[in-house]
Amino acid sequence: MYKLVIEGGHKLEGEVYISGAKNAALPIMAASLLIEDDVIINNVPNLEDVKTLSQLLERLGKKVEFSDKRMVIRTVSEENVEAPYEITKKIRASIAVLGPLLAKRKKAKVSFPGGCAIGPRPVDLHIKGMRILGASVRVEHGYIIAEAQKLTGGLVNMLGTNGTSVVATENVMMAATLAEGTTVIDNAAMEPEVVDLANFLIKCGAKIKGHGTNTIVVEGVKNLKGCEYEIIPDRIEAGTFILAGMMTNGEVLVKNCEPNHLTEPIRVFSEMGASIQILSKDTVLVKGRERYEPVNVTTLPYPYFPTDLQAQLMAVLTKARGISIITEKIFQNRFMHAYEMNRLGADITIDGNSAIIKGVDKLYGAPVMASDLRGGAGLIIALLGAEGVGELLRVYHVDRGYEKIEDKLSKLGAKIKREKTDLI
């Protein structure tokens, strides 16, 4: 096990390069199951989640070669259709193989992902979508088993009790590319990663319209061909570095990012009093300050404030000049980091799906524990802004979604190092 040892109180200054988007890479990798030809994906981030999904693809008969941001996926066999629990428990996005396996191999057996530290992770929308396309779906011995000799287009409404779903939209869109006839996905997720997946599929010969709006129309085709594709920058990683710069009153040039995907976060950060300048189509300059104004923010599907930046924003708000409220509308229980931030001297109270954050003058370094990926990133930001030395345990959560985070932060002047630990 590893931990990150962080000495807080150092300004971040300099340039940081943003990696490719995890949440675009994963479904695009899964989409390779729709395609027999070679698929080449560029700008792939080197992350634990990417490694885990590569392992799953290899189990499913693909050969995955990955070096220096470039991934080549080849087909060896199209026989296996089973995604086992030992993999789906590590990476919930592995449910994204359901639609491609069903559409290409006529059957999919995907272990039910279960709940996790940020709350229940239901899959009803995925199942509903596959059924509307004509599959028979049953849940047996912890597996979702979907079968269909052929899929047929249909009208899929993605509106669940908690709004729309990103990966369920992607699953239905992928399956529909090879279905007979037209599929309309209503209340579709509009996240840039859904758009990126659609653009990849279109490059492979799929007929998709409306991606980026809440109605996606897919006209099925007989088969898809291979292509070479470059994935978009990671907006959550970019937002994380902007907030890290803000927390330390630093001056950070965030390069290789896509500012258009961060419109709402940038509006919120500016309202807090940060200076955020968009210098070019892929560069943002953030200039921090000592204290920020409090804000009230609700996490919602894109284009609103992303739940994946909630913990990192909370870290900065712990030292704001007043009371902020964050309401979490996507995942209940996504507040574990708040209790850890309180160990550093923050004053956060959780009331249902809201966190009430009373700004304090100072945070103090202490050992804290990550219990999920983004919560871990939030705790790193809190430690960067704390006085003295602190530690982040269970750093493996952070490694799932951030490429070399301590290297990138060190280059910006943070005092951070990775050390082995016996503490788990």
Q: List, by residue number, the catalytic residues.
A: 116
The reply on whether position 331 binds ligand UD1 by CB under 6 A is yes
Which residue in the set 307, 310, 318, 371 belongs to the binding site for ligand UD1 (CB under 6 A)? 307
The reply on whether position 303 binds ligand UD1 by CB under 6 A is no
Angstrom distance (rounded) from CA 91 to CA 93: 5
Minimal distance in Å, beta carbon 415 to ligand UD1?
29
* Token pair 């995955």 in the structure block, residue: 64
Q: Which residue, 190 or 257, is less far from ligand UD1 as judged by CB?
A: 190
Minimal distance in Å, beta carbon 383 to ligand UD1?
22
Which residue in the set 67, 77, 149, 161 belongs to the binding site for ligand UD1 (CB under 6 A)? 161
Which residue in the set 165, 183, 199, 248 belongs to the binding site for ligand UD1 (CB under 6 A)? 165
* Token pair 């990849």 in the structure block, residue: 200
Which residue in the set 44, 187, 193, 309 belongs to the binding site for ligand UD1 (CB under 6 A)? 193
The reply on whether position 126 binds ligand UD1 by CB under 6 A is yes
303 upstream amide cis, omega within 30 of 0: yes
Minimal distance in Å, beta carbon 374 to ligand UD1?
7
Question: Residue 353: which residues within 8 A CB-CB, separation 6 or more?
Answer: 327, 328, 329, 332
The reply on whether position 218 binds ligand UD1 by CB under 6 A is no
**Residue 25-54 contact track with ligand UD1, rule CB under 6 A, x = bound:** -x----------------------------
| From 3-11, 121-129, 131-139, 176-184, span contacting ligand UD1 (CB under 6 A) | 121-129
The reply on whether position 200 binds ligand UD1 by CB under 6 A is no
The reply on whether position 172 binds ligand UD1 by CB under 6 A is no
Angstrom distance (rounded) from CA 172 to CA 102: 11
Minimal distance in Å, beta carbon 167 to ligand UD1?
3
The reply on whether position 208 binds ligand UD1 by CB under 6 A is no
| From 104-112, 164-172, 209-217, 224-232, span contacting ligand UD1 (CB under 6 A) | 164-172
Instruction: Give the per-residue SS3 of the chain.
Output: CEEEEEECCCCCEEEEECCECHHHHHHHHHHHHHECCCEEEECCCCCHHHHHHHHHHHHCCEEEEEECCEEEEEECCCCCCEECHHHHCCCHHHHHHHHHHHHHHCEEEEECCCCECCECCCCHHHHHHHHHCCCEEEEECCEEEEECCCCECCEEECCECCECCHHHHHHHHHHHHCCECEEEEECCCCCHHHHHHHHHHHHCCCEEECECECEEEEECCCCECCCEEECCECHHHHHHHHHHHHHCCCEEEEECCCHHHHHHHHHHHHHCCCEEEEEECCEEEEECCCCCCCCEEEECCCCCECHHHHHHHHHHHCCCCCEEEEEECCCCCCCHHHHHHHHCCCEEEEECCEEEEECCCCCECCEEECCCHHHHHHHHHHHHCCECEEEEECCHHHHCCCCCHHHHHHHCCCEEEEEECCCC
Q: Which residue, 288 or 306, is less far from ligand UD1 as judged by CB?
A: 306
The reply on whether position 23 binds ligand UD1 by CB under 6 A is yes
Q: Which residue, 95 or 178, is less far from ligand UD1 as judged by CB?
A: 95
The reply on whether position 122 binds ligand UD1 by CB under 6 A is yes
Minimal distance in Å, beta carbon 315 to ligand UD1?
17
The reply on whether position 77 binds ligand UD1 by CB under 6 A is no
Size of the site for ligand UD1 (CB under 6 A): 23
The reply on whether position 160 binds ligand UD1 by CB under 6 A is yes
Minimal distance in Å, beta carbon 238 to ligand UD1?
14
Q: Which residue, 115 or 181, is less far from ligand UD1 as judged by CB?
A: 115
The reply on whether position 308 binds ligand UD1 by CB under 6 A is yes
Question: Residue 305: which residues within 8 A CB-CB, separation 6 or more?
Answer: 264, 265, 268, 297, 298, 299, 313
Minimal distance in Å, beta carbon 57 to ligand UD1?
15
Which residue in the set 257, 330, 409, 412 belongs to the binding site for ligand UD1 (CB under 6 A)? 330
Minimal distance in Å, beta carbon 330 to ligand UD1?
5
* φ, ψ for residue 342, nearest 5 deg: -65, -30
Binding site for ligand UD1 (CB under 6 A): 23, 26, 92-93, 121-126, 160-162, 165-168, 193, 306-308, 330-331
